[in-house]
Amino acid sequence: MQETEQSRLVLQDPLARRISDLGLTIEGSALQRFVQQLYRELERKRLMKFRPPCYLSDEWGCPSGEPVIGIPFYLANAELASLEKEMNDLEDAREIMMYLRHEAGHAFNYAYKLHKTPEWKQLFGSFRRPYRDYYRPVPFSKNFERHMAGWYAQKHPDEDFAETFAVWLTPRSAWKKKYRGWGAMAKLRYMDRIGRQLSNTEPLRRRGHPDITVDDMETTVAEFYQRSTEQVPIVDLALDADLADIFNASKRRKGAVAANTFLQARRKLVVDKIAYWTGVQRPLIKRLVEVIEKRLGELCLVADLSRESEHLTNITAYATALAMTSMARGKFVHP
């Protein structure tokens, strides 16, 4: 009933309304079952005293030093989730749990102040290391776990621990088998031991303070999406000849569809896979694929549905090559 009431509130011209006026809460929304699932997973790991509070915010996050978890507000309402899916890429159930486990790792670190201990520093590095949004990972390194896309554990020691926690927490992750012989195994065994040691221990920091809550968000829904969809600049691209080679189907074929429509329908899959395996920042990859889609439409190129695998493989490999060039040289095309 509460979810229905929230939906009705948003349906009244949602774009013009301030987010803080929408009455959004985790309780009674579709999000509640995911938070409850997180808590059940923590209980299965015998972490009886650790239950990080969750709140609605502008994005996923755990404020530095604060044992709380911020969840994007649009996931608390079906209408806003549909809008997010249209504007960006909406998280599915699997991804929501991945994010929750990762952010719970940050919260656990802060709740017990593990990052201040010598053993943590020896395993993960200095918590005070500068935090940079753009980083250059070492793909396929066995010194780090693989949970979030883009070799995310390599971004910062704090992210490394959060990824370790998430892998350890995930049901049926089979981490003891999957990471056997890896350098990352030492971190996982540390987490397993610390989890047992702290199972019935009260956190050193029991309460945390959120940064931006949904009640603080006085921008309208329209203003939020105007800011969040600002274009990432894409320059130095000469796509025409390459795209014509990839989408070289005849418009007379029975299974012919517009190439830009073909790619748009598969955009999230393509972006997800490129981000996961390359480590290039997801917003840049998403913007790159959008630029490719736009140019496909301008060139009036066509895809043949009977050759779907061929088209999808080629365009994914092509965009991956561009993304890797950008990461290595700072731009997509190098003379």
**What is the tens place of the pLDDT at every residue in 236-284?**
677 899 999 999 988 888 889 999 999 999 999 999 999 888 888 888 8
Strand, coil or helix: 137: coil
Domain count, the chain: 2
What are the start-end ranges of the H helices in 45-156?
78-87, 93-111, 118-124
pLDDT digits (tens, 9 = 90+) for 206-247: 889 999 999 999 999 988 887 665 555 665 677 899 999 999
Which residue is associated with the tokens 């003891």? 176
H/E stretch holding 195: helix 185-197
**Residue 26 contacts residue 54 (beta carbons within 8 Å):** yes
Residue 323: per-residue pLDDT: 87
Same domain, 131 and 184: yes
- Boundary of a domain, candidates 160, 183, 216: 216
User: Residue 322 falls within a domain, yes or no?
Assistant: yes
Same domain, 133 and 268: no
Over pLDDT 90: what percentage of the chain? 70
Distance CA 18, CA 73 (A): 12
Across 90-102, average pLDDT: 95
CB contact at 8 A, 89 and 269: no
Per residue in 268-325, pLDDT (tens digit) is: 999 999 988 888 888 888 889 999 999 999 999 999 999 999 999 999 999 999 988 8
Checking if the pLDDT of 138 tops 90, the result is no
Classify 258 as helix, strand or coil: strand
**Residue 161 shares a structural domain with residue 257:** no
Alpha carbons 286 and 283: distance in angstroms, whole number: 5
Range of the domain at 306: 240-329
Query: Are residues 256 and 114 in contact, defined by beta-carbon separation less than 8 angstroms?
Result: no
**Mean pLDDT over the full length of the chain:** 89
Question: According to the model, what pLDDT value does residue 199 have?
Answer: 96
Do 212 and 282 belong together in one domain? no
Residue 261 lies in a domain: yes
Going 111 to 113 to 115 to 117, the CA torsion angle's sign is negative
Measure the CA–CA gap between 296 and 94, rounded to whole angstroms. 31
Q: 188 to each of 30, 172, 178, 191, how far by Cα in Å?
A: 32, 15, 11, 5
User: Residue 232 has what pLDDT?
Assistant: 56
Question: Could you tell me if 184 and 52 lie in one domain?
Answer: yes
Asked, for residue 221, whether it belongs to a domain, the answer is no
pLDDT of residue 4: 45
